Amino acid sequence: MKTSDILNKTKELFPYIATELFEEQQGRVYVCSDHFLNVLVYLRNSSFVHLANIFAIDWIEEKEFELNYNLWSYDHNSSIIVKVRIPREKPEIPTVLDLWEHGQVYEQEIHEFFGIEFAGNPDLSPLFLHNWKEIPPMRKDFDTEEYSKRAFDVGEREGAK
Amino acid sequence: MIDLFTDITEIANKDGNKVYDIFFGPNHPGMHGNFGYVVDMIGHSIAKARVNAGLLHRGFEKIMETNLWHQNLSLIPRICVVDPDPNEAAYCGAIEKIMGLEIPERAKFIRTITLEMSRMTSHLMGMGSVGGATGLYTVMYLMLADRDRLLDMFEWLTGGRIYHIYNIPGGVRRDLPKGWKEKLYGLMDFFESKLKEYDEILYRHPIIHKRLKGVGVITAEQAKKWGITGPNLRATGVKFDTRKAYPYAAYDQLEFDIPTEKEGDALARANLVRAEFEVTISIIRQALDKLPEGDVNIKLGNPLKFKVPEGEAYAKVESSKGEYGYYIVSTGGIKPYRVSVRGPSLPAGLFLCHKHLPGMRIDDVALWMNTLQICAPDFDR
């Protein structure tokens, strides 16, 4: 089955989603956070078993986080990225652990770097950062330069302007 | 530091020394790179494993947002030390997808050749470290010495031995130097003649069979649902390769087999790497045979003012360890808005360890890591 057909079929089943065919083997599904699990369950059961990764994008001007679920179907050789937007003030989304066990690591990582809560995930302990007390570092409003000056007490470098 | 030592003492006293913790960390000879597991031990068996990551975290994805598109090219190969080229190819591939660029045919073939050479360097390191972890040090030294020949070729072509920074958006940085192609043909003959020796000292060695058989078994179903890709997936019997399924560079114009193994254990994974090494030699020969004439890149103007139009794309590459993917978001500026990296060893290194390590003997951990090709930099970035 071609990616375009899969997208059309998904659109028929879930009329409230938007779809986009990026290239022959790569498509995108835009869905709201209330319904995204239904779409993921459907895609998971229709051969999209491989979750390549989950990643977040901070759209600070639109005051939204975008979560991306990067799926691949071994049967149809097709890649579909499910995109869900959630408000920045209350960043919470249900977990996908019941669908993909290894989503645990990605959710932990996103929680650590974006501060997004995954409702239903029992373990969101930090993986990489040690004693982090600032705002999550991958957010766009985190200023790396200002932080390193404050944390490491670095003055102006000689000759640097 | 004092805290750390108190902790260890407290741990050692726990349960009257029956359960003790071992820091299987960067200073352990079986560990490659700055990464570690903390394992609860009973006797010489592991009861529980915890991940001790973050020793290597450099915030690459964040740094990439503050750099120019071309500046990032010198940063991304550092995400994987032994196999750097897939990073460059995936990053440039994603940019080219957003821009809708079709790179020149010659550039596609040169990219294919360097990608496969990079796979060879990584596999030589992988095969060698299996020898190192089983005490067959000769194998390791031999493989690393042979690997140096490929690094010499990279140095001649790109100026760098480890980090090549050779792929750029629109093609590759420079054309093949005079005499390079002939030398690479010779090197492929050399590696083909060496395979027999590798078999004798490593793959037919009784120690390898005894130590690797039955370690860390993954079934095909598990590999698919846990996000395990690349050689680790093919070692379970799944005939899948991104080079065929989602072609990039010039792979759609070349003919090659996808080797598979059935058992899904460490021995199957080690044998598969050997089989892939042979396939790689044939791919490089074909690509050299078919190498067309022409330009090697599209001139895209001043790199300091280089802009990528608004858009986003996911490009993935079959690296020596599995699916290497870059998702790039551009808002039309001189810097990327977001770069997300899909490291191939994340599912194995951070997730599979909780499934496999409990019950395993401590001396098998290094082998388990080597055969799954866990490379910490690509998730701890």
Percent of all residues in chain A with a pLDDT value above 90, rounded to a whole number: 32
Helix or strand run (H / E) with residue B45: strand B45-52
CB A19 within 8 A of CB A30: yes
Considering only CB atoms, which chain A residues are within 8 Å of B226? 100-102
Would you say residue B338 lies in a domain? yes
- Taking any CB pair shorter than 8 Å as contact, residues of chain A touching chain B are 22-23, 25-26, 49-53, 55, 57-58, 68, 70, 74, 77, 79, 81, 100-102, 104-105, 127-130, 137-138, 142, 144
pLDDT of the residue at B4: 47
| Interval A63-80 mean pLDDT | 91
**A13 in a structural domain:** yes
pLDDT tens sequence across B162-212:
888 899 988 888 889 999 999 999 999 999 999 998 888 888 888 888 888
Distance, CA of B80 to CA of A146 (rounded, Å): 29
CATH number of the domain to which B281 belongs: 1.10.645.10
How many structural domains compose chain A?
1
Task: Yes or no: say if B266 and B215 are a contact pair by the CB < 8 Å rule.
Answer: yes
Region B315-340 average pLDDT: 90
Residue B53 lies in a domain: no
Q: Is the four-CA dihedral B248, B254, B257, B259 of positive or negative sign?
A: negative
Label residue B321 left, alpha or beta by phi (over 0 means left) and psi (-120 to 50 means alpha).
Answer: alpha
Residue B82 above 90 pLDDT? no
Structure tokens at A30: 């835009």
- Cβ contacts (< 8 Å) between B225 and chain A: which residues? 49-50, 100-101
- Structural domain includes residue A98: yes
Say how many domains are in chain B. Answer: 1
Task: Answer yes or no: is B5 within a domain.
Answer: no
pLDDT reported for residue B2: 42
Of the candidates A50, A55, A129, the beta carbon closest to that of B54 is on A129
Range of the domain at A83: 3-152
* Greater pLDDT, B272 or A160: B272
We report the CATH number of the domain holding residue A59 as 3.30.460.80
Is the CB of B351 less than 8 angstroms away from the CB of A104? yes
pLDDT of residue B360: 84
Q: Please tell me the predicted confidence (pLDDT) of residue B307.
A: 87
Q: Which residues contact A131 (CB under 8 A, 6 or more apart)?
A: none
* Residue A161 placed within a domain: no
List of chain B residues whose C-beta atoms are within 8 Å of the C-beta of residue A22: 97, 313
Å from B348 to nearest chain A CA?
Answer: 9
Residue A57 has its nearest CB partner, among B57, B226, B329, at: B329
Bridge partners of residue B318, in order along the sequence? B323
Q: What is the pLDDT of residues B42-74, one digit of tens each?
A: 777 788 888 888 888 888 888 899 889 998 998
Q: Is residue A157 part of a domain?
A: no
pLDDT digits 0-9 by tens, B19-40: 778 888 888 877 877 888 888 8
Determine whether the interchain pair A51/B227 forms a contact, defined as Cβ–Cβ distance below 8 Å.
Answer: yes
B337: which chain A residues are within 8 Å (Cβ-Cβ)?
Answer: 57
- Kindly provide the ipTM of the predicted complex, given to two decimals: 0.89
Question: Which of B52, B241, B314, B324 should one mutate to test binding to chain A, selecting the residue with the greatest count of A CBs within 10 A?
Answer: B314
Residue B111's domain spans which residues?
Answer: 60-378
- Is A145 among the domain residues? yes
The whole-angstrom separation of Cα B223 and Cα B226 is 5
pLDDT of the residue at B250: 87
Q: How many CB atoms lie within 10 A of CB B147?
A: 19
